[in-house]
Amino acid sequence: MKSDSLFDLRSHLKNRRLDQVVENRTAYTLNTAELTIYETHAQAEAVELTFHNPVLTSMIRGKKVMHLDDTPDFDYHPGESVLVPSEKTMRIDFPEATFQSPTQCLALAIAQDEITKFTNQLNETVPLIDSTSGWRWSESSFYFSNTSTINALIARLIDIFTENNPAKEFFADLVLKELTIRLIQTQARRLLLDQGQKQTTTNRWMYITQYIQENLHTAFNIRQLADKACMSEPNFYRQFKAQFGLSPLEFINQQRIRLAQQLLKTTSRSVSDISVTCGFNNLNHFLKLFKRYNQLTPLQYRASGLF
């Protein structure tokens, strides 16, 4: 069977056994984590999964419909992930799965004490400013689109778990640490964006993200943002990257591209008009950046229906 999945599963497909047509399970276990690859070859509804440790699920191929108690139902596509707390039941529909075009998804369960260890290290090394709770793993289900870095880390873990290397525990520990920290940063970034849109706050990062969101159409620089945060420019840059896992410019570009995606799917405005509305004063730069984030041009994105 030809593979068109998001990640390279050739090593997995070469050795796995296909015993079930719905959520066929292949598990790869290490001391502190377990990677499970699920494959579904037939349409099904309300399939339940529960894990005893916190888990990252990530779509590889096909489409699911996810039902989680603390999240509105949503379509689940390749390039997207969900953080699910321990003992939280997922109910899943497979509306399009066939033997010729199966649905593939991975679940990475990480031991709670490992997550606690990584989180403590993060809190000790780069503590959050204006936060009493500090860095922490998601306490409720968290649905998000993967960054290229998170995709690369997941791909590396698939290689490590499925290869026959006597040092795989050591390799996995290094990648799991980075992945866990980046997931925590992704969650914190989303939380600040969501809360910043709902309320006025004295949290400087929430204030800065709110300012960025409200001024994406204008030109502003890092010096102006640092002044608003009452910080020196070098300290602002360093603390921002520690908080968000992105540089200020990367974050601003990410938000501008997300606004462009929203305008492409909800309006018929021209690409050049959207470019200006999203704060780009150079159309070619906008086109290059949009394609880097989406692997599609704006017009291809609008025509694709991938939203």
Least confident of 189-198, 201-210, 219-228, 262-271: 189-198
In the predicted structure, residue 191 carries a pLDDT above the cut 80: no
pLDDT at 130 over 90: no
Cβ atoms 263, 277 nearer than 8 A: yes
pLDDT in tens, 20-38: 999 999 999 999 999 999 9
What is the model's pTM? 0.75
| Structure confidence by residue, pLDDT tens digits, 240-287 | 888 888 899 999 999 999 999 999 999 999 999 999 999 998 999 999
pLDDT score for 134 = 80
Confidence of residue 196 (pLDDT cuts 50, 70, 90): low
Burial track 223-250 (b if 16+ CB lie within 10 A, e otherwise)? eebbeebebebeebbebbbbbbbbebee
Q: Residue 15 pLDDT more than 70?
A: yes
Residue range 95-113: average pLDDT?
95
CB 121 within 8 A of CB 184: no
CB-based burial label for 155 (10 Å; 0-12, 13-18, 19+): middle
φ/ψ of 76, rounded to 5, equals -120, 120
> What is the reported pLDDT for 197?
54
Average confidence (pLDDT) over 228-245: 87
CA angle 115, 205, 214 (to 5 degrees): 125
Q: Read off the pLDDT band of 188 (50, 70, 90).
A: confident
Rounded percentage of the chain residues whose pLDDT exceeds 70: 94
Cα dihedral 86, 87, 91, 92 sign: positive
Mean pLDDT, residues 38-67: 95
Domains located in the chain, CATH noted: 10-193 (2.60.120.280), 222-304 (1.10.10.60)
- Predicted pLDDT at 1: 41
CA–CA separation, 127 and 174 (whole Å): 21
Contact 91, 34 (CB under 8 A): no
